[in-house]
Structure 1
Amino acid sequence: MKRRQFVQAAGAGLAATAIAKPALAQAQPEVKWRLASSFPKSLDTIYGGAEVFAKHVSDLTDGKFQIQVFAGGEIVPALQALDATQNGTVECCHTVSYYYVGKDPTFAIASAVPFGLNARGQNSWLFQGGGNELFNEFFKKSNVVGFPCGNTGTQMGGWFRKEIKSVADISGLKMRIGGIAGQVLQKLGAVPQQIAGGDIYPALEKGTIDAAEWVGPYDDEKLGFSKVAPFYYYPGWWEGGPTVHAFINTEKYAALPKSYQAAIEAAATYANTWMQARYDMLNPGALKRLVGAGVQLRPFPQDVMEACLKASNELYAEISAKNEEFKKAINAMVAYRNEQYLWFQVAEFTYDNFMIRSRARG
């Protein structure tokens, strides 16, 4: 082949390659979804997890797959996000599965139950211990696929208008508390209420409720709870490491190209890490500001913790006797929790305990 012919042939080949690349990119469909969040926009960390998720889906698909995020109440009420996804009103949602214990108490275990796993143990169980597989089998009956898409870390025990000195002070207490934890406190005489995040402050201010839990110092400071309830308790024994899920309508998910499905999983996993890292960055400063402003920081008394643990175990046994799916999931969680703490007490706890005491000594 003559030199001129070779150059012409090579040029034609390069041109074909240049044309093929954009043609391949154009073959990917443009998809536009709506996501219903259970959280208000003012809570930039927990609501922000959905925005981080949506942005990464877009970035991973060169902008072809767009997910528009709507705050709680903009499309559907905050606590109906899963229902809207299940019936196809929206394609996906960002919510906490324990909001839906009224459908089945097994939903709670996928996020957090009293005296369950801490955040590190929860992620280990879901991603490496078979938890995601177990729960996605359970989620099938609700017509959704679930992806861990955020974790707050261990939460605070909430805001109380009056001091809690013993188990007796729980009796008659009207408290905003989500999930199965409300049923535990009910065993001790409390009156649990499930109220969306944006509605907690007015209920506390008006005295409709006596106490409320949300997440932790950063969010709680934003919501202004310290103005209407001076006592701030810890720890939130009902949420040692709660997972926030991205739920996707099953049919909508199945219709996506495999690369888009992979983008959803990757984006959710990133948002899962992002949320806890951000809370861990923001909570220390918020806690110092709250205490500096006069908030009364209190640990739950030991007898309250012991009574709540006993009531939790009793409740799990009662539900397990009637619900095989709950029994399977709670037994798996407890077994994993016990193994995790066998390890944590050797390394993590010993190290943290030493460092905390060293910090206190200056």
Structure 2
Amino acid sequence: MDRRSFLTKAGVGAAAAAGLAAPAVAQSTPQVRWRLTSSFPNSLDTIYGGAPTLARYLSEATDGNFELQVFAAGELVPGLQAADAVMEGTVEACHTVSYYYWGKDPAWAVPAAIPFSLNARGINAWHYHGGGIDLANQFFAKQGLYALPGGNTGVQMAGWFRNEITTAADLQGLKMRVGGFAGSIMERLGVVPQQIAGGEIYSALETGTIDAAEWVGPYDDEKLGFVQVAPYYYYPGWHEGGPTVHFMFNLEQYEALPANYKALLHTAARAADADMLQKYDWLNTTSVRNLVAAGAQLRPFSPEIMEALFTASNEVYAELDGTNPEFKALWDSVKAFRGNWYTWLQVAEYNYDTFMMQKANAGQL
């Protein structure tokens, strides 16, 4: 064999070897660089933290080839415009709560939380096993989005009030910082909803610009110091029994991912979803004690107030069912599961939890 023939054959062999190895690696973990804008400031480490958690999972599973660069609210776009930025293609992804956009269409709110819907475990059961993710994405696809659950706070608190609230009449004329869809319900009971950014709530309560405010729950509320200016802390969060935070992706960008990256995105999002709820469950137990020690007066909304809110909510839903088929399709699906879910909870879980609560209150745990 002459030298030229040997080099030619050696070159072909090397190329063949490279052709067998390199493309297999490249095709399995191609480089993807996405930007994600959050609706939350990084000071709210638990709810904001869902996005960095997702980014870490994606990076670790692909040796850094699927990179998700996370930006806090306001760094690229305002927090309440996160989904708009994804729809417009300004960024590839966002981490937000879909009810922020209920003003576009009330159907946006249902996959996240609407009053007297499901608690966190119930909404997750609906999302993952009741067809909720697919049904929601039939709606989101029309917005140019693909969405996956990406966190849950668990049932929230009803809010902080400067004065005690004992009857539905006490809500008349009350100026309250309350989220959009829930605010439209409370408006029917005479509440005057206020849209105020999280960082401005404390001063508004302190000066009496507002009389009450809802935020999230003990861990996040403790950070903002509301107990110092509005000591009455009411529960339960009738308006957010189990609010789902969503990862939303530009539909075109999502569809362009290889199948294994789509599968990884689903798996990582599901893990981040569970992680957030677990963190809140862990942290709220300490924070609620801290708040009580700092002077918070824990109060349940009276049965009268709860019934009034329930009635007002159902009135709104009846109106929307008659005018908004997309809202109706989502809400009908949730309702079909809701009754069975709470019936089942009564059978075992409610009784077990009630017994254990009695033991805790008796100092026996």
| Kept after mapping to 2: 8 A contact 1:99/1:179 | yes
Give the distance between the partners of 1:315 and 1:223, measured in 2 at CA.
Answer: 32
**Structure 2 partner of 1:256:** 257
1:20, CA displacement in angstroms?
4.7
Q: 1:170 to 1:23 in 2, by over 3 A?
A: same
Question: Aligned with 1:246: secondary structure?
Answer: strand
| Kept after mapping to 2: 8 A contact 1:85/1:93 | yes
Cα shift readout 1:10-44 (whole Å, capped 9, x = no counterpart):
xxx9xx88995555323432111111111111111
Give the distance between the partners of 1:139 and 1:357, measured in 2 at CA.
Answer: 44
1:197 lines up with 2:195 in the alignment: no
**Structure 1 partner of 2:83:** 82
1:209, CA displacement in angstroms?
2.1
Question: Aligned with 1:297: secondary structure?
Answer: strand
Instruction: Tell me which amino acid in the other structure corresponds to 2:53.
Output: V
Which structure 2 segments of 5+ residues have no match? 1-12
Give the distance between the partners of 2:100 and 2:176, measured in 1 at CA.
Answer: 15
**Structure 2 partner of 1:6:** none
**Structure 2 partner of 1:328:** 329
**Structure 1 partner of 2:43:** 42
Aligned ranges 1:16-95 → 2 under 5 Å: 20-21=20-21, 23-27=23-27, 28-95=29-96
Instruction: Tell me which amino acid in the other structure corresponds to 2:139.
Output: F
**Structure 1 partner of 2:355:** 354
Give the distance between the partners of 2:273 and 2:197, measured in 1 at CA.
Answer: 21
Instruction: Tell me which amino acid in the other structure corresponds to 2:130.
Output: G
Question: Aligned with 2:135: secondary structure?
Answer: helix
Q: 1:200 to 1:20 in 2, by over 3 A?
A: farther
Cα shift readout 1:92-140 (whole Å, capped 9, x = no counterpart):
1000011111011011111111111011110000100011111100101
- TM-score, normalized by length of structure 2? 0.92
Q: 1:122 to 1:65 in 2, by over 3 A?
A: same
Instruction: Tell me which amino acid in the other structure corresponds to 1:304.
Output: I
Give the distance between the partners of 2:287 and 2:157, measured in 1 at CA.
Answer: 13
**Structure 2 partner of 1:10:** none
**Structure 2 partner of 1:115:** 116
Q: 1:21 to 1:169 in 2, by over 3 A?
A: farther
Alignment: residue pair count? 350
Give the distance between the partners of 1:336 and 1:75, measured in 2 at CA.
Answer: 39
1:327, CA displacement in angstroms?
1.3
| Kept after mapping to 2: 8 A contact 1:39/1:198 | no
Cα shift readout 1:205-224 (whole Å, capped 9, x = no counterpart):
34332211111100000121
Give the distance between the partners of 1:178 and 1:61, measured in 2 at CA.
Answer: 38
Which structure 1 segments of 5+ residues have no match? 1-12
- TM-score, normalized by length of structure 1? 0.93
Aligned ranges 1:154-193 → 2 under 5 Å: 154-193=155-194
**Structure 2 partner of 1:236:** 237
1:344, CA displacement in angstroms?
0.7
Question: Aligned with 2:234: secondary structure?
Answer: strand
**Structure 1 partner of 2:104:** 103
**Structure 2 partner of 1:141:** 142
Q: 1:59 to 1:198 in 2, by over 3 A?
A: farther
Question: Aligned with 2:47: secondary structure?
Answer: coil
Instruction: Tell me which amino acid in the other structure corresponds to 1:298.
Output: R
**Structure 1 partner of 2:274:** 273
Q: Identity, % of aligned pairs? A: 57
Give the distance between the partners of 2:58 and 2:43, measured in 1 at CA.
Answer: 23
**Structure 1 partner of 2:5:** none
| Kept after mapping to 2: 8 A contact 1:177/1:213 | yes
Cα shift readout 1:271-303 (whole Å, capped 9, x = no counterpart):
110000000000010000110111111111111
Instruction: Tell me which amino acid in the other structure corresponds to 1:183.
Output: S
**Structure 2 partner of 1:5:** none
Q: 1:202 to 1:92 in 2, by over 3 A?
A: farther
Instruction: Tell me which amino acid in the other structure corresponds to 1:87.
Output: E
Question: Aligned with 1:62: secondary structure?
Answer: coil
Q: 1:20 to 1:200 in 2, by over 3 A?
A: farther
